[in-house]
Structure 1
Amino acid sequence: MATMRDVAARAGVSAKTVSRVFNDDPHVLPETRLHVEQIMRDLNYVPNVLATTFRNGRSSAIGVAVPDVVDPFFAAIARAVDDLARSRGVATLLTNLGDEPGRERDILESLLSRRLAGLVVAPISIDHSWLKRWQDSTPLVFVDRAPVGLSADTFTDNDEVGGYQATRHLIEHGHRRIAYVGGDLRLSTELNRLAGYWRAIDEAGIEKDDGLIKAYVDNRASTEDAVTRLLDHPWRPTAVFSSNARCSMMLLHALPADQLAVVGFGDFPMADVVRPALTVIDQDPNEIGRLAAQRVFDRVDHPKRRLRKTNILDVTLIERESCKVAARS
C-alpha cells in the first residue's frame, strides 16, 4: 500500500504538504491541492490514521459493525468488544448493517474514514475484496462469518458441526422427517449449517426431501408461510432444525405447541424458560467478541505482523425439553 512518502515523491512535494492536503489545511495552494489529490487517487492512498492517533496520544475507538444490534448474539459480541476496549481506554463505535448487502460498503467506509483503532465486523455481503486497501492502516477482524475475496483475521463458530449435531440429535430421538428452517443461503453460516444437516441425513440413510428445506425465513410473515407449507407437506415433518436464533424465536410463536420437536442453532435469553424449553447448539459470543478485540490490539501493538488466521470455535449441544416430542409413525 502506498505511503505518505510515496505520494510526496510522486507529487514532488514534501510529506508535510501531503499531510496538509489530507487534513484540508486552508494554507495549501489550490493547484498544489488538486495535484496532490490526483496522486492520492492514482496511488489508492489510505492514510495510516491509527499511527497518527496513537502518536498524538488522543483517544481512539474500535468500530463494531453487526447485522442487527438488537440480536442477542451480536449484542453479546459488541458488549465483549466494548469491555476489552474500555480496559485499554478506547471507545467503541457500534453500527447496524441491516439486511441489505448493497449498503455494507458505504456503512463500513463511513466507519473506516474515522480514526479507528480497528474494525470488528460480522459481514452480510459476499464481496470484501475492496477492503484490501484498508488493511495496512486499520486492523480488520471478522466475526461469525468469514470475508469473501479477502484474507483477514476471522473468528467463527463450527457451523457445519453444529448443524450436524442438531440434526443427529433429532435422529437419535427417533425422527426421520426433519425440516430445516433458516435464513439467507448466500451466507457461509447458513450454507455450513445446512451442510451439517445434510451430512447427518446422509449418514442415517434417510431419503432426502428438498420440500423440508425452508430458507430465507427472516420475518414473521415468511416464518408463518414456512410453517404452513411444512404442516401441509404430504410427509409432514416431526422435527425442525432451526439454523439461527432469530428463526428459533419466530418459530416458537408459529409452530403448534408440543407437536414438533425443535433444536435451534444459537441460545438466546428466555430459551430455557419457554415451554417446552428450547434445545440449542450453544455458541459463545462473549468469547468471540473478546478474542476479536484482543486481535485488534495485538495488531496495534505489533503492526508488522502480516499472517492472518481463521479461528474456528467449538459449539456445544444443550439438551432441554423441545427435542423430546415423540416422533410419529
Structure 2
Amino acid sequence: MATMREVALRAGVSVKTVSRVFNDDPHVLPDTRRRVQEALAGLNYTPNSLARTFRDGRAPVVGVAVPSISDPFFAAIAGGVEEVASRHDMSVVVTSLGEDGDRERELVESLLQRQVGALVMTPVAADQSYLARWAARTPVVVVDRPARGVDVDCFVEDDLGGARAATAHLLARGHRRVAFAGDRESVPTTANRLAGYRAALEEAGLEVDPRLVQLGASDPDGAAAAARRLAALDPAPTALFSSDARTTMVLVPALASRRMAVTGFGDFPMASMLSPALTVVDQDPAALGRRAAERAMRRLDGSVEGAGEHVVLPVRLLERSSCRPPDRLLELFPWTVPAGAERVVWSSAPSGAPTAPARG
C-alpha cells in the first residue's frame, strides 16, 4: 500500500503539499495539484486507518480532553475536532477534566494509554510537563490555554486584545469606573484578559482600582457576592467587563436589579436575546478545534515537524445594546426579553500564523 511519502516522491513535492492536496486546500498551484493528483491516482493511494493502527500501534482515534463537555464553548471545540477527524477516517473520544486540575494527569494519561492517534486538550492544571514523554510519540495539541512545562502546538485566541477592546469600548462611552469579573487568575485566559482590562485603563490615563477586580465570580454564589461588593463601593462602578461566558451567565441574574453597562468575553446562547442585548467579544471555538485537529493530522502524516508552534486566532467585538453611557443607564431594562441588533465594532488583526514556538 502506497504511503504519503511515496506519493510526494513521485510528484516531486513535499509530504505537506500532498496532505494539502489530499485535504482539498485551495492554496495549491494548479500544476502542483495536478501532479499530486496524478501521483495519488497512479499509486492508488487511500488513507487506511486500520493499516495505520497495525503499522504505528496507534488507534484511528483522536482523544479530546476539555474542562467540561457540557460547556457550549468546549463542546464546540470538540465538534470542530470531530469535523476534521471524520475527514481523515478517524473517530473521537472526549473526556471532561473538570476545572481544579487535580485529576488532569490521570484522565489525560488514561486516554493516551489507549494508544490514541493524537490528543487535543485544554489544560486545567498548573503543569503539563508529564506530557513530554507522550508528545515524543503522539501528536499533542493544546487549545484555548497554553501548556506549561512542555513544548507542543498551541492554538489560542486573542485574549489580551479582545479584553482591551471590550474595556476600551466602555471607556469610550464615558464610563470611568469599570469593574472586572472573572474566574481565578491562575487560569491563563483570565490572567490574559485581566491584563487587557488593565491595559485599556492605563491607556485611558486611569488608575486600576483593585477593589473593582472581582475574581472567583464564575459560579452563582461567587457572582452574587461580587455584585454585592461592587454595589457597596463609593463611588460604585457604572460598567463591568466579564472575562468569560460562564461568568457572564451567572452574573446576569446577580445584576438584574442594577443599572450597569456590561461587555463580556465570549458569546453564548440567548446573549443577543437579553434586554439589553449583551455586547460580547465573539470567539470561534469550532475554528479552534478544527485548527488544532488539522495540526494533529499534519503531525501524524509527517508534513509538519519540529518544535511546537503558538498560534493566536483573531476575535471581534460585537456591539449590541448593553453598553450605554452613564447618563443613559436608566434606559436599560432588566435582562429578560429580546431586544436590539448587533454590529462588529472591532476585530483582531488577521492572524492564524505561527509566532514563536510555544514554551512551557
Normalising TM by the smaller chain, what interval?
0.7 to 0.9
Deviation sequence 1:156-209 (CA, Å, 0-9, x none): 011111110010000001100000000010121111100010011011111221
Deviation sequence 1:56-85 (CA, Å, 0-9, x none): 798521011111111111110001101111
2:314 is aligned with 1:314 = yes
- Residue 354 of structure 2 corresponds to none
Q: Residue type matched to 2:107 in 1?
A: I
- Residue 157 of structure 1 corresponds to 157
**1:307 to partner: Cα distance:** 2.6
Deviation sequence 1:264-288 (CA, Å, 0-9, x none): 0011111111111110001111111
Deviation sequence 1:99-130 (CA, Å, 0-9, x none): 22111110101111012110000111110111
Q: Residue type matched to 2:169 in 1?
A: H
> Residue 65 of structure 1: SS of its match in structure 2?
strand
> Residue 271 of structure 2: SS of its match in structure 1?
coil
**1:256 to partner: Cα distance:** 3.0
The 8 Å contact of residues 175 and 327 in structure 1, kept in 2 or not, is answered as no
Structure 1 distance, partners of 2:79, 2:114, is: 21
The 8 Å contact of residues 182 and 216 in structure 1, kept in 2 or not, is answered as yes
**1:248 to partner: Cα distance:** 0.7
The 8 Å contact of residues 180 and 241 in structure 2, kept in 1 or not, is answered as yes
In structure 2, list runs of 5 or more residues that go unmatched. 1-49, 330-360
Alpha carbons of structure 1 residues 119 and 59: separation in structure 2 relative to 1, 3 Å: closer
Structure 2 distance, partners of 1:141, 1:233, is: 43
- Residue 232 of structure 1 corresponds to 232
Alpha carbons of structure 1 residues 293 and 318: separation in structure 2 relative to 1, 3 Å: same
Task: Flag as ranges the 4+ runs of structure 1 deviating above 6 A.
Answer: none
The 8 Å contact of residues 259 and 325 in structure 1, kept in 2 or not, is answered as no
> Residue 322 of structure 1: SS of its match in structure 2?
coil
- Residue 288 of structure 1 corresponds to 288
Structure 2 distance, partners of 1:298, 1:58, is: 15
> Residue 102 of structure 1: SS of its match in structure 2?
coil
**1:54 to partner: Cα distance:** 5.1
2:175 is aligned with 1:175 = yes
The higher radius of gyration belongs to 1
Q: Residue type matched to 2:256 in 1?
A: P
2:256 is aligned with 1:256 = yes
Deviation sequence 1:119-162 (CA, Å, 0-9, x none): 00011111011110001211000000000111110000111111
- Residue 8 of structure 1 corresponds to none
Structure 1 distance, partners of 2:306, 2:215, is: 38
Alpha carbons of structure 1 residues 247 and 322: separation in structure 2 relative to 1, 3 Å: same
- Residue 193 of structure 1 corresponds to 193
- Residue 119 of structure 2 corresponds to 119
- Residue 13 of structure 2 corresponds to none
The 8 Å contact of residues 120 and 142 in structure 1, kept in 2 or not, is answered as yes
- Residue 140 of structure 2 corresponds to 140
The 8 Å contact of residues 177 and 236 in structure 1, kept in 2 or not, is answered as yes
- Residue 222 of structure 2 corresponds to 222
Alpha carbons of structure 1 residues 289 and 327: separation in structure 2 relative to 1, 3 Å: farther
CA RMSD of aligned residues (A): 2.0
State the TM-score, normalized to the length of structure 1.
Answer: 0.81
Structure 2 distance, partners of 1:151, 1:57, is: 23
Structure 2 distance, partners of 1:109, 1:150, is: 15
> Residue 98 of structure 1: SS of its match in structure 2?
coil
In structure 1, list runs of 5 or more residues that go unmatched. 1-49
Q: Residue type matched to 2:151 in 1?
A: S
- Residue 74 of structure 1 corresponds to 74
Structure 2 distance, partners of 1:233, 1:328, is: 21
**1:215 to partner: Cα distance:** 0.7
- Residue 14 of structure 1 corresponds to none
